[in-house]
Amino acid sequence: MTLLASKLLLNIPDKDSERIEVLVQAGEYASKSEFIRFAIKQALYSDDRMEEFKAISSKLQKQTKSRKQVKEETEWAKAGTRKTVEKMLKQ
């Protein structure tokens, strides 16, 4: 299985970097990268955050047209165009 990943270059205050380094040296995390991955996952996947994501996702789904709606609107526009062209040709 291939995992997709992105590299990020982060600028963080020296004070925060030093605190992370203390945790790494104490054996709480294997590396600064591991700490940052953990912190990101906590921020993204905490229970409160997941509820926010679900609400946002639901809102976006309601705003997005279904394929059926898009197809119906496209057919309606095509029919209108055909009628207009037919009228123009009859003149």
At 60, which helix (H) or strand (E)?
helix 47-63
Residue with tokens 């990943």: 5
Q: Mind listing the pLDDT tens digit for each residue in 13-31?
A: 999 999 999 999 999 999 9
pLDDT at 70: 78
pLDDT of 1 reads: 62
pLDDT reading at 12 higher than 70 = yes
Find out whether 30 and 41 touch, Cβ atoms under 8 Å. no
Q: Across all residues in the chain, what is the average pLDDT?
A: 85
Q: Look up residue 70 and give its two tokens.
A: 């898009």
More confident residue, 2 or 90: 90
pLDDT tens track for 48-73: 777 888 888 888 877 777 778 878 88
- CB under 8 Å to 49, separation ≥6 — which residues? 43
Helix or strand run (H / E) with residue 63:
helix 47-63
The predicted pLDDT at position 41 comes to: 86
Write down the pTM of the prediction: 0.52
